C-alpha cells in the first residue's frame, strides 16, 4: 500500500501509562504522581504547566531516569529504566539526555565553557575538542569570549541559566528536560533560548519537555500538557504560531 509520508505518525519518544510516585512513608507520604498518562512524539517540544506542587518536577525527574517510578508503564526512547542493569541508567542518561534544573547546578570551580563541556568530558571527549564544542553552543545563547571564561559566581542568574541550557544541549542528546528554563531570563534572552530549543527539536527525532510558568514562551510549544494534582489532565494546542488566532464567542 502506498501511504503518504504525512500520515505516518512519528514514533512516541515518551510513553507513560498510569505512572505513580510517592515520597516518604506512612503519615509523611506525599503522592506526587497519581497515574500520569502521557505520549510525546519524536520531534516534539512539549510544555508542562500546572500549579506549584502538582508534580511537574517529579514527572520530568522520572522521565530523565533520576527518580524511579513506583508503578505504571514508562518508556523513554524505547527503553524502560526499570529494565536497565545497574550502571546502564547512568550511561544511557549521559548519552541520551540533557537536563536543565531549576537550581542550574553549575560547578563553581569551572568556567562557563568548562561547565557547558562537562557532558562531553564525561563521555571521554578530548579537552580541547569538548571546549570548542561547548563554546559553539554558548555562542548560540549569546555568550562572548569573556563570559565563557567567567566562573558561575561572576555571572548573573540569567547567564548561569544559559550555561545550564548550553550544557543540556552540547552532547546532542535525544531528549532534553528543562525545569523553568526561562525563569531568570528577560524576554529577549528567553525567546533566544526557546528559538534554539525549537530548532533543536524541529525536524529531528529529538524530544523536549519543558516545565514552565512563562506564558511568554507558550507559543514555542507543539503542545501543552496541563498537570493537576499528580495527573496530566489536558493536552492543549499552544497559542497560534503563524496563523490567525481562534476567536471564541
Ligand atoms: P511541582 O514541580 O509541580 O511544583 P513537585 O514534583 O516538585 O511539583 O512536587 C509534587 C509534590 O511532591 C509536592 O507536594 C511536593 O511537596 C512533594 N515533593 C517533591 N519532592 C519531594 C521530596 N523530595 N520529598 C517529599 N516530598 C516531595
Ligand atoms: Mg517544580
**Ligand 1 within 6 A of CB of 51:** no
Rounded Cα gap, residues 232 and 63, in angstroms: 14
First to last CA, the chain: 44
Cβ of 61 closer than 6 Å to ligand 1, yes or no, is no
What is the residue with the minimal CA distance to atom 12 of ligand 1?
A: 32
CA 28–ligand 1 middle distance (angstroms): 12
- Rounded to the nearest 10 degrees, what angle do helices 127-140 and 157-169 cross at? 120
Residue bearing the CA closest to ligand 1, atom 7 = 57
Nearest in space to 24 (alpha carbons), one of 64, 72, 70: 70
Task: Say which residue the cell 568530558 belongs to.
Answer: 121
C-alpha cell read off for 16: 507513560
Q: What residues contact 207, with CB distance under 8 A and at least 6 apart?
A: 13, 14, 40, 41, 42, 43, 44, 45, 46, 77, 174, 175, 176, 201
- Over its length of 249 residues, how does the chain's per-residue pLDDT go in tens digits? 444 555 555 678 999 999 999 999 999 999 999 999 999 999 999 999 999 999 999 999 999 999 999 999 999 999 999 999 988 999 999 999 999 988 889 999 999 999 999 999 999 999 999 999 999 999 999 999 999 999 999 999 999 999 999 999 999 999 999 999 998 899 988 998 898 899 888 878 899 999 998 998 999 999 999 999 999 999 999 987 654 444 554
> What is the phi/psi pair of residue 50, to 5°?
155, 165
pTM value is 0.90
Going from the C-alpha of 22 to that of each of 29, 103, 211, the distances in angstroms are: 6, 23, 20
Out of 22, 29, 32, 68, give the residue to mutate to test ligand 1, the one with the largest number of ligand atoms within 8 Å of its CB: 32
Q: Give distance in angstroms: CA of 212 to centre of ligand 2.
A: 9
User: Going by CA atoms, what residue is nearest to atom 14 of ligand 1?
Assistant: 53
pLDDT of residue 244: 46
Cβ of 54 less than 6 Å from ligand 1 = yes
CA distance 63 to 4: 32
> What pLDDT score does 205 carry?
87
Ligand 1 center to residue 58 CA distance, Å? Answer: 6
Q: How far, in Å, from the CA of 57 to the mean position of ligand 2?
A: 4
Q: How far is the CA of 145 from the centre of ligand 2 (A)?
A: 33
* Cβ atoms within 10 Å of 229's Cβ, excluding its own: 14
Please tell me if the CB atom of residue 52 comes closer than 6 angstroms to any atom of ligand 1.
yes
Residue 91's region, left for phi above 0, alpha for psi from -120 to 50, else beta, is: alpha
How far is the CA of 116 from the CAs of 19, 23, 106, 184, 213, in angstroms? 32, 32, 9, 18, 25
Predicted local distance difference test score (pLDDT) of residue 64: 96
**Rounded to whole angstroms, how far apart are CA atoms 182 and 162?**
9
Amino acid at each position: 500500500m502506498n501511504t503518504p509520508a504525512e500520515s505516518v505518525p512519528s514514533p512516541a519518544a515518551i510513553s507513560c501509562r498510569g505512572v505513580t510516585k510517592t515520597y516518604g512513608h506512612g503519615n509523611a507520604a506525599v503522592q506526587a504522581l497519581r497515574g500520569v498518562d502521557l505520549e510525546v512524539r519524536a520531534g516534539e517540544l512539549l510544555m508542562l504547566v500546572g500549579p506549584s506542587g502538582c508534580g511537574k518536577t517529579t514527572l520530568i525527574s522520572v522521565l530523565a531516569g533520576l527518580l524511579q517510578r513506583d508503578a505504571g508503564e514508562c518508556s523513554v526512547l524505547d527503553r524502560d529504566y526499570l529494565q536497565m542493569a545497574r550502571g546502564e541508567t547512568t550511561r544511557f542518561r549521559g548519552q541520551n539526555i540533557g537536563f536543565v534544573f531549576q537550581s542550574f547546578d553549575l560547578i563553581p570551580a569551572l568556567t562557563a565553557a568548562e561547565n557547558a563541556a562537562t557532558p562531553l568530558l564525561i563521555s571521554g571527549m578530548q579537552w580541547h575538542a569538548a571546549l570548542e564544542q561547548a563554546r559553539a553552543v554558548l555562542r548560540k545563547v549569546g555568550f562572548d569570549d569573556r563570559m565563557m571564561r567567567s566562573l558561575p559566581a561572576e555571572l548573573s542568574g540569567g547567564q548561569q541559566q544559559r550555561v545550564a541550557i548550553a550544557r543540556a544541549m552540547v552532547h546532542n542528546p535525544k531528549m532534553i528536560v528543562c525545569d523553568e528554563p526561562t525563569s531568570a531570563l528577560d524576554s529577549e534572552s528567553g525567546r533566544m533560548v526557546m528559538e534554539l530549543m525549537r530548532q533543536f527539536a524541529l525536524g529531528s527525532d529529538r524530544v523536549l519537555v519543558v516545565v514552565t510558568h512563562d506564558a511568554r514562551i507558550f507559543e514555542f510549544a507543539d503542545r501543552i500538557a496541563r498537570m493537576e494534582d499528580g495527573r496530566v489532565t489536558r493536552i492543549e494546542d499552544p497559542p497560534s504560531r503563524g496563523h490567525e488566532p481562534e476567536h471564541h464567542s
